[in-house]
């Protein structure tokens, strides 16, 4: 995560510090935002207008560390349809209602991005695939959203009813889970490419202007942009401290130090690509992916979640984000070529069904992936320590306000340092990022 985004996982981890509704003198909880009017609209969108709402109950099911940029809960609904009573459950993403002032705009744009992605982009992408007799993209059904500032809510189908579940974020994805994600990522990218081809004179980021909002320009509030820059600097500085604690990574330390004054360049120019630009998921990591399994426990299907930082960027940005946050080095390094080949074949299959020639080959893909590796390292440094935290170690935001922010940042940094000794998963996962970059020559 779903889970701002970034302490929100960057912006998915920036969301440790996202968003608050501080305009009311009465303290509210995210769950209290759920109301009968919105639930009725959800029910009607799902079960037809004839469905009559009888009652509803908000039931939390996630734990600390599962979501950052929002609160994810569920709503159990009792309804009547044609004089027959039944129950249905929906998942709802809610404004986290934290007591940090100044971030209302940031939360608003994240919820707008996701809501508009489902409402405006997904139908057009699925129309492209439907014309090719391909399955629709593997996203949850979105039934309703409310973008009232401070009360943002988005309602989805409850995928637990279809036996989808989250992969343990503390484990790196293996050779069975990873290809499922990469195939679906490729279909998203390829469908967006074909959608752009339908009207090449109107860039998708002009048609869907929320795609322009990215890391350092999420809002027009300069103070928030500066806060994000500082948080990103803090992540890099913390990585340097961790490398110094481990020892033997002097060249990696020097390289990370060289990134600090280039944060803005890395997160803007580094994502651009005229040739490979497409709609990106933007936040494709363990917490935002669900799997369905067969009777033997083998993953057989995948659903992608959480489009709160969708954007227009190089396809290699999504690839780097996923592969450097959600895999261990022992899986990523020996299988990278095969993983990218899986992605390539899926992308090519969509274009072939559309009667179009593939406009890049596998060597081109590898080159573009390598050119965006700085982003992969950047994402990995920020997200891996958060991902591997035990639920009880995730900083508690309850009841915190602006005066607590420095202490919360320090708490996160201290916990990450402690994990080098107490969590056997962190050191190899974290160091593998730099081993990769040294092997390819990115780190001299």
Q: What is the pLDDT of residues 291-334, one digit of tens each?
A: 999 999 999 999 999 999 999 999 999 999 999 999 999 999 99
Average pLDDT over every residue of 336-365 = 98
Q: Which of 211, 219, 215 is nearest to 195 (CA)?
A: 211
User: Which pLDDT score is estimated for 232?
Assistant: 86
Confidence of residue 409 (pLDDT cuts 50, 70, 90): confident
Tokens 């299959």, residue?
Answer: 349
Confidence of residue 269 (pLDDT cuts 50, 70, 90): confident
Q: What is the pLDDT of residues 53-76, one digit of tens each?
A: 999 999 999 865 555 568 999 999
Q: Say whether pLDDT at 17 is over 90.
A: no
Q: How far is CA 304 from the centre of its chain?
A: 9
Confidence of residue 401 (pLDDT cuts 50, 70, 90): low
Question: What's the CA gap between 227 and 247, in Å, rounded?
Answer: 30
Confidence of residue 192 (pLDDT cuts 50, 70, 90): very high
Looking at per-residue confidence, does 263 or 438 come out higher?
A: 438
Q: Say whether pLDDT at 379 is over 70.
A: yes
User: Which pLDDT score is estimated for 396?
Assistant: 63
Q: Percentage of residues in the chain with pLDDT exceeding 90?
A: 72
User: Which pLDDT score is estimated for 166?
Assistant: 93
Q: What is the pLDDT of residues 194-204, one digit of tens each?
A: 999 999 999 99
Q: Say whether pLDDT at 11 is over 60.
A: no
Contact partners, residue 18, CB within 8 Å, separation at least 6 = 4, 5, 7, 8, 68, 69, 96, 98, 100, 103, 106, 107, 110
Question: What's the CA gap between 302 and 307, in Å, rounded?
Answer: 15
- Ranges of each domain in the chain: 8-440
Confidence of residue 5 (pLDDT cuts 50, 70, 90): very low
Confidence of residue 13 (pLDDT cuts 50, 70, 90): very low
Tokens 């900083």, residue?
Answer: 395
Q: What is the pLDDT of residues 209-222, one digit of tens each?
A: 999 988 778 777 77
Q: 7-11, 139-143, 149-153: lowest mean pLDDT where? A: 7-11
Average pLDDT over every residue of 7-25 = 38
User: Which pLDDT score is estimated for 116?
Assistant: 98
Contact partners, residue 233, CB within 8 Å, separation at least 6 = 260, 263
Q: Say whether pLDDT at 403 is over 80.
A: no
DSSP 396: P
| Average pLDDT of the residues of the chain | 89
Contact partners, residue 406, CB within 8 Å, separation at least 6 = none
Q: What is the pLDDT of residues 225-261, one digit of tens each?
A: 787 788 888 889 999 999 999 999 999 999 999 999 9
**Token pair for 378:** 């950047």
Q: Say whether pLDDT at 15 is over 50.
A: no
User: Which pLDDT score is estimated for 397?
Assistant: 60
User: Which pLDDT score is estimated for 303?
Assistant: 98
User: Which pLDDT score is estimated for 216?
Assistant: 77
Looking at per-residue confidence, does 191 or 67 come out higher?
A: 191
Q: 50-64, 344-358, 364-378, 385-399: lowest mean pLDDT where? A: 385-399
Q: 141-155, 222-236, 422-436: lowest mean pLDDT where? A: 222-236
Query: Helices 222-246 and 250-259 meet at what angle, rounded to 10?
Result: 170
User: Which pLDDT score is estimated for 402?
Assistant: 60
User: Which pLDDT score is estimated for 359?
Assistant: 97
User: Which pLDDT score is estimated for 97?
Assistant: 84
Helix H or strand E encompassing 304: strand 299-304
pTM of the model: 0.92
User: Which pLDDT score is estimated for 1?
Assistant: 35
User: Which pLDDT score is estimated for 252?
Assistant: 98
């Amino acid at each position: 995560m779903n889970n701002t985004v970034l302490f929100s996982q960057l912006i998915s981890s920036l969301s440790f510090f996202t968003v608050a509704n501080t305009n009311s003198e009465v303290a509210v909880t995210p769950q209290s935002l759920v109301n009968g009017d919105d639930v009725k609209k959800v029910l009607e969108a799902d079960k037809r207008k004839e469905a009559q709402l009888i009652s509803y109950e908000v039931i939390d099911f996630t734990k600390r560390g599962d979501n950052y940029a929002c609160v994810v809960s569920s709503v159990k609904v009792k309804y009547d349809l044609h004089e027959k009573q039944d129950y249905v459950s929906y998942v709802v993403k809610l404004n986290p209602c934290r007591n940090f002032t100044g971030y209302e705009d940031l939360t608003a744009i994240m919820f707008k991005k996701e809501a508009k992605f489902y409402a405006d982009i997904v139908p057009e992408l699925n129309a492209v695939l439907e014309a090719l007799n391909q399955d629709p993209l593997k996203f949850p059904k979105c039934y309703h959203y409310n973008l009232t500032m401070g009360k943002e809510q988005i309602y989805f189908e409850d995928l637990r009813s279809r036996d989808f579940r989250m992969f343990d974020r503390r484990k790196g994805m293996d050779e069975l889970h990873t290809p499922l994600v990469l195939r679906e990522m490729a279909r998203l990218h390829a469908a967006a490419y074909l959608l752009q081809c339908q009207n090449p004179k109107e860039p998708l980021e002009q048609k869907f202007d929320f795609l322009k909002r990215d890391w350092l320009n999420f809002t027009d509030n300069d103070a928030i942009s500066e806060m994000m820059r500082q948080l990103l600097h803090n992540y890099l500085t913390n990585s340097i401290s961790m490398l110094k604690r481990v020892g033997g990574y002097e060249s990696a330390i020097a390289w990370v130090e060289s990134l600090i004054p280039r944060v803005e360049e890395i997160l803007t120019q580094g994502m651009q690509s005229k040739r490979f630009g497409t709609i990106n998921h933007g936040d494709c990591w363990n917490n935002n992916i669900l799997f369905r399994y067969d009777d033997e426990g083998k993953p057989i299907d995948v659903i992608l979640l959480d489009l709160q930082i969708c954007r227009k960027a190089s396809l290699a940005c999504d690839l780097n984000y996923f592969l450097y946050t959600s895999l261990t080095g022992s899986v990523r390094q020996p299988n990278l070529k095969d993983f990218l080949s899986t992605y390539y074949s899926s992308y090519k299959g969509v274009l072939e069904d559309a009667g179009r020639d593939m406009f890049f080959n596998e060597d081109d893909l590898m080159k573009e992936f390598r050119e965006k590796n700085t982003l992969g390292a950047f994402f990995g440094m920020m997200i891996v320590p958060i991902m591997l935290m035990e639920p009880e170690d995730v900083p508690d935001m309850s009841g915190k306000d602006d005066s607590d922010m420095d202490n919360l940042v320090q708490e996160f940094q201290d916990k990450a340092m402690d994990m080098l000794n107490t969590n056997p998963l962190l050191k190899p996962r974290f160091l593998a990022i730099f081993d990769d970059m040294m092997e390819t020559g990115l780190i001299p």
